[in-house]
Structure 1
Amino acid sequence: MRGFFVESYRVLKAGGTTIHSFLSPKPRNGRQRRLIEADSDPRWTKTPPTEWFSPPPRLVLEYLRLAGFKRPMRARLRSGLVIRSTAARELLKDWDIRQFYWQAHRGVLEKEGLEIPDWLVISACKISG
C-alpha cells in the first residue's frame, strides 16, 4: 500500500487531491462484529485473509504523509445498512462464508442480522511546490 501512495503522489498534479475509502476495521456494534468475524476468521471463511482487508486509518494516514501528501483528512460515514434473515444468508454466501457460520448463528442472524461496517474516507493533497 505504501508503494501505491508513493506512485499516486508521483502521477498526481500539484494541487490535486487523493481520496480513498475503506470499510472500518473496528466494529461499532455486534452486527458489524459478526460480519468482520465471519469474513476474517478461518473457521468461517473459505478464503481467510491474514487480517481484515481494510487497513487501520492511522497506517493509511502515515503512508500518505510518507509519500509526501499534506493536509490529510479523515471522515467516518456510518453505513447503517442492516441485513437480516435470508438476505444475511445470501450476503454470507456472496462473501464466501461457509454455510456452517449460518447454521451456527442462524437465530441471531435472523433476528439482529449483520451490518456493513462504517466507511472511512481519507484524503490528502499534493501541495504545489
Structure 2
Amino acid sequence: MGRCKRLLQGFTVARTRDILFSDEKILTLNPVFNSQNEGITGDSLADATAKRWVQESAKQPHSIVVWGGVTSSGKTLTVFVEAGVKINAAVHKDILEKSSGPIPTSEKPTDAFNKILLQHTKRG
C-alpha cells in the first residue's frame, strides 16, 4: 500500500483516473492430498472415508488463473484464464479488454477508459 501511495504522488488528479491496479492469482481446483500434512480421525479407513475425511485427488490437479483490477471508478470484472496459457502482451491486452472494455489509444489522459469501466462494473 505504501508503494502505491508513493506512485500516486507523481500523478495529477486527472491522470490518476487512467491508472489500473491489477493482480492475478493461480488457484488450484483440486489440490493434491498429503496425509502427512492433514490429520485423519476415525476408527477405521472405512469410517473416515464415509465421513469424507479422506480426500482423493489427482496427481496433477487442475488450476486456473484469476485476474482482477481496481481503478478510481471501482472494481473491474473478474477474468478467469485457463492454466498453461502463457500470459504475454497479446493475452494481457485481451484480459484488459474483457474486464474493462476497449483500451483507449489516446496518449492524452482522458476519462473515457473509466466511463467504459464503470459501464461494465455496473452490469455485474
TM-score by length of 1: 0.29
Query: Which has the larger helix fraction?
Result: 1
- Higher normalized contact order (CA 8 Å, seq sep 6+, divided by chain length): 1
| Larger Rg computed on CA atoms | 2
State the TM-score, normalizing by the size of structure 2.
Answer: 0.30
